Amino acid sequence: MMKKMAKDFIQRFFLSLGIVFLFGIIISEDFRNGLAEAVSPVLDPVYEALPIHAVIFILAIITATYTTVIQRYSIDFPKFKEIQKKVMEFNKEYMDAVKKNNQYKIKQLEPKKAEMQKLQGEMMGMQFKPMFYSGIVTIPIFMWLWIKTQNNASILVPFHKTAIHISDPFIPFLPFPWWIFWYLLCSIAISQVIKKVFRLG
């Protein structure tokens, strides 16, 4: 009983911490800078030793590994897939009835709508929970990267023949800097490899 209470307390603490981090960076610039400074003693030596695109690649490995493992152990995947299947089947059946204007079928399905909405809410909660857990690590790293990339000089980077500033847009006229594209590309690719190798998810 005590062990379960301690486990629940730890889970609630880290979940709350992740929520504070997420909303803190939206509300306060000082909070963003504070998170970046907190991880600077660990990450600054890496930044000084390697090119920025290599630093981003290493951090993408760390965050992708952490996030994938968190997802694996915080989401009940069999239950998630079961709920997903029920919701998809209901939506398909309901949309088909609407498309054919089958009022009898629609009336039969109406009582199930509240149940399906509840299941969809449960699915959303299952997806958000690991996001808040992983945010404890990923958000400070992301804030540190945000500051470091603003100060970085123009460099040669993958997929570009000429030197660019790492904060330049990856696609002209869109506010999507190159470093975020590179981080997401590395992170997604590494996550897929981790899931395949360790059969996670």
Whether 108 is in a domain gets the answer: no
Looking at residues 8-13, what average pLDDT do you find? 79
Residue 102 in any domain: the answer is no
- 63 in a structural domain: yes
> Are 87 and 120 in contact, with CB atoms under 8 Å apart?
yes
pLDDT digits (tens, 9 = 90+) for 185-195: 888 888 888 88
Classify residue 115: in a domain, yes or no.
Answer: no
Long-range pairs, 36-40, Cβ under 8 A, ≥24: 36/140, 36/143, 36/144, 36/146, 36/147, 38/140, 39/140, 39/141, 39/144, 40/144
DSSP category for residue 1: -
> For residue 170, what pLDDT is reported?
66
* 81 in a structural domain: no
* In a domain? residue 135: yes
> What is the pLDDT, as a whole number, of residue 51?
84
Residue 25 domain boundaries: 2-75+128-198
**pLDDT at 141 exceeding the cut of 80:** yes
Mean pLDDT over 135-156 rounds to: 81
Report the domain count for the chain.
1
Residue 58: what pLDDT? 93
Q: How confident is the model at residue 104 (pLDDT cuts 50, 70, 90)?
A: confident
Report pLDDT digits (tens) over 76-94. Answer: 788 888 888 888 988 888 8
Average pLDDT of the residues in 121-130 = 83
Q: Is the pLDDT of residue 152 over 70?
A: no
Per mean pLDDT, which range of 18-32, 56-70, 141-155, 169-183 is the poorest?
169-183
